[in-house]
């Protein structure tokens, strides 16, 4: 009796699953409807329809969402007790500091020379950076915003 019942249940579940697959195959309509209604229900503004590029004021991006973080560093940058200078032009202030998703830190001088600084990492960056207040769609946009 148990066995018969279990078999019946399984057949029922299988029948259900088939019905579900069939419905999805034959009726794409529900999904179309959802997509068509989404912009209207999301409210005003065309930005809301592009989930990949949310404006900064809508959502604070997490580290997983971005290629990296960047900040401007006006004063001389001291690494291991020494004022760091650009190896190419010798500049020692007004850096853009990047912290990339792979944990690396890069320094970019005012003249645009960009080198990785292996003595700095994400932990250092987090200790020395303020809260993220802006999201930039491109590197150029970020540099412009930071005055470079
Ligand atoms: Zn330089």
- Does the residue 31 lie in any domain? yes
Whether residue 22 is predicted with pLDDT greater than 90 in this model: the reply is: no
- Does the residue 114 lie in any domain? yes
| Ligand 1 center to 107 CA (angstroms) | 9
Together in a domain, 77 and 116: yes
Q: What is the overall mean pLDDT for the chain?
A: 75
| Ligand 1 center to 113 CA (angstroms) | 4
| Ligand 1 center to 145 CA (angstroms) | 19
Together in a domain, 73 and 118: yes
- Give residue 131's pLDDT band: very low, low, confident or very high (50, 70, 90): confident
Q: Report residues near ion ligand 1: CB below 5 Å.
A: 86, 88-89, 91, 109, 111, 113
| Ligand 1 center to 88 CA (angstroms) | 5
* Total domain count, the chain: 2
Together in a domain, 41 and 86: no
Together in a domain, 90 and 138: yes
Residue 26: give the domain boundaries: 2-49
- Does the residue 57 lie in any domain? no
| Ligand 1 center to 91 CA (angstroms) | 6
What would the mean pLDDT of 24-28 be, rounded to a whole number? 43
- Does the residue 55 lie in any domain? no
- Does the residue 18 lie in any domain? yes
Contacts within 8 Å (CB) and 24+ apart, 131-139? 132/60, 132/61, 132/69, 133/56, 134/56, 135/54, 135/55, 135/56, 135/60, 135/61, 135/66, 136/70, 137/53
pLDDT at 21: 40
């Amino acid at each position: 009796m148990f066995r018969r019942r279990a078999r019946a249940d399984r057949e029922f579940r299988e029948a259900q699953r088939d019905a579900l697959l069939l419905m999805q195959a034959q009726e794409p309509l529900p999904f179309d409807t959802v997509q068509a209604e989404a912009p209207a229900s999301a409210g005003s503004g065309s930005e809301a329809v592009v989930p990949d590029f949310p404006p900064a004021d809508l959502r604070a991006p997490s580290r997983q969402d971005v290629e990296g973080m960047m900040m401007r560093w006006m004063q001389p940058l001291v690494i291991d007790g020494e004022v760091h200078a650009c190896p190419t032009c010798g500049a020692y202030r007004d850096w853009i500091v990047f912290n990339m998703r792979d944990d690396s830190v890069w320094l970019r001088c005012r003249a645009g020379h960009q080198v990785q600084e292996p003595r700095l990492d994400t932990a250092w960056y987090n200790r020395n950076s303020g809260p993220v207040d802006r999201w930039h769609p491109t590197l150029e946009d970020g540099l412009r915003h930071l005055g470079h």
